Amino acid sequence: MAILVFIIILSVLVLIHEFGHFFMAKRNGIGVEEFGIGLPPRAWGKKIGETIYSVNWLPFGGFVRLVGEDSTDAKRDQKNSFYTKSIWQRSQVVVAGVVMNLLLAVVVFYIVLAALGFKFHLPGFFPHEFKFARQSTTVQVVDIGENSPAKSAGIEVGESIIEIDSQKIDSIDALQTIIHGAEGKSISLVLESPVDNSTRVVAAVPQFNKELDAPALGIGLGELITLNYDTLPRKIFGGFTHSYNMVEYSGKVMGQLIGFAIRERDITPVSEGISGPVGIASITSQAVSLGALSVIQLAGILSLNLAILNILPIPALDGGRFAFIIFEAITRKKPHATFEKWVHTAGFALLIGLILLITYNDILKLIK
């Protein structure tokens, strides 16, 4: 089931991306030779007008092949060629896929926020001030001891403790203060699920812990950042602002990991924070086990990441092609066709090598 869901998510994200290229190419009079679902070899195809619409055997995403997309193509000087169109028209086609993935992420995040009551939790790896949302802290259960009061009460790892005896809990210190004063007494805890923000109430009795020299429930604690999109403007623009917050926070986390790796001369933190197809399939499996809302949220995150990755100025990706267009706009000269093709070919080879390396690392993680 997880593999099927992974293939469906990946296919939808790539097809929407490619549809953006397809739509803008048609709109600007650029010939589309083929719009393929899946990757070759071809299983079925039908030509309608100038375009072959195909279904291919490898069920991963899709592709669009434009007339004159390759600057060394024999058809590049035709009227309907990508190569002959203006800088503005080619720019629209190149960035259209990224825009479609961004819009999909906005829609998906709006659905997720609406389902969660416009309250979203995420781990606080590093201090960060989020924009366009009211930020608060939630105390999360990250570990439960065997034969502990928490275990007996049915508290589960991942849940947040938001109230104890009608007192709001917004920090670990606040929680510990209440627990330390309640030895042998039954306390009422309001627990919140990180999956759908649903709440439930349990009763537990703190017991004296010799190691801590204090009453305890036998739980390990961590803190979650809670983003509250709780005003009308925040709700209306929640899909856009949450997408922005996710991009900004992800960039900060990755920047911190890279900085740590450089200082310590240890690339492990960066490799742990990057996943390829195998790693994403594993994450998909976890999302499937948590329910449909988690799967939808994962689709939004992947769509956002796909957009950001594609717009980077990396040869063979949309950002790499866009960089050549910007170069042309500045210099008023088209890049040498053979050189551009060589750059994209080399970039594609490097990307494949990087994907294989990341996949190998993902497999090692699973084995461990």
Q: Are 243 and 106 in contact (CB under 8 A)?
A: yes
Average pLDDT, integer, range 349-354: 86
pLDDT value at position 7? 85
Tell me what pLDDT residue 194 has.
83
Tell me what pLDDT residue 236 has: 95
Mean of pLDDT values over 79-84: 94
Q: What is the fold of 134-228?
A: Pdz3 Domain (2.30.42)
In the chain, % of residues over pLDDT 70: 98
User: Which has more pLDDT, 95 or 274?
Assistant: 95
Q: Is 10 helix (H, G, I), strand (E, B) or coil?
A: helix
Find the mean pLDDT for residues 315-326.
94
What is the spatial distance between Cα 263 and Cα 101, in angstroms, rounded to a whole number? Answer: 35
Give me the pLDDT at residue 271, please: 65
Mean pLDDT, the chain, integer: 90
What pLDDT is recorded for position 263? 80
Name the pTM for this structure: 0.86
Residue whose tokens read 């009422």:
188
> Among 63-77, 103-117, 172-186, 252-266, where is mean pLDDT lowest?
252-266
| Mean local confidence (pLDDT), 79-106 | 96
Domain ranges (residues) in the chain:
2-115+273-367, 134-228
Q: Which of 50-64, 111-125, 311-325, 350-364 has the lowest mean pLDDT?
A: 350-364
As a whole number of angstroms, the distance between CA 75 and CA 172 comes to: 66
Give pLDDT tens digits for 263-315.
877 776 666 667 777 778 888 888 888 889 999 999 999 999 999 999 999 99
Instruction: Say if CB 126 and CB 256 are below 8 A apart.
Output: yes
pLDDT at 56 over 70: yes
What's the confidence (pLDDT) of residue 310? 92
Q: Please report the pLDDT score of residue 270 as a whole number.
A: 62
Q: Supply the pLDDT for residue 279.
A: 79
pLDDT at 273: 67
Sorting pLDDT into bands at 50, 70 and 90, what band is 111?
very high
**pLDDT at residue 368 tops 70:** no
318-331 helix and 292-311 helix, angle to the nearest 10 degrees? 30
Question: pLDDT digit string (tens) for 204-251?
Answer: 999 998 888 899 999 999 989 999 999 999 999 999 999 999 999 988
Degrees, nearest 5: CA angle 110-114-119: 100
The residue-averaged pLDDT of 157-162 equals 94
Looking at the DSSP bridge assignments, the partners of residue 48 are: 51
At 143 the pLDDT is 94
